Amino acid sequence: MQRIIALCLLSALLVGCSTSAVPTDRAKQVGADKTYSYQATPATPYGTLTVVRDSGFISSGCDMGIYVDGKLAARLATKERAIFKIPAGEIVLGAGVIGSGLCGTAADRREREVSLSPGQTKNYRVFTSSEADIDILPNTL
């Protein structure tokens, strides 16, 4: 019973919290062991896509999966960034908490359409809102 009360109190404390943006140049580059695709320079024209995960307490013990066209491309911890070389054109970029235990109870994956022109660079931010909802949006930091 005490465990349930403690979890409820912790949940109540987290209400109203959200994560904080991390400037791209201050984010730590994710290790090669946590990037799975779009690392090599493609033979076709491509754009560069950088994804940075916010800092903050919410879901910080869980990795954030970064998806390109539904395929897991990287796993990010808080304050980490991944850089992808993506063939020019339209893709669907997604983010969602991955893992088991409490990580498995997080919000569903969120996806956004992204268009990359040859040579173009775009930055995106993955964050958790005050409603504990995950989102991925363009970022100019």
pLDDT digits (tens, 9 = 90+) for 71-121: 999 999 999 999 999 999 999 999 998 876 666 656 678 999 999 999 999
Annotate the chain with three-state secondary structure.
Answer: CHHHHHHHHHHHHHCCCCCECCCHHHCEECCHHHECCCCCCCCCCEEEEEEEECECCCCCCCEEEEEECCEEEEEECCCEEEEEEEECEEEEEEEEEECCHHHHHCCCCEEEEEEECCCCEEEEEEEECCCCCEEEEECCC
Q: pTM for the complete prediction?
A: 0.81
| Class of the CATH domain delimited by 18-138 | mainly beta
Tens of pLDDT, residue by residue over 29-79, are: 999 999 999 999 999 999 999 999 988 766 567 889 999 999 999 999 999
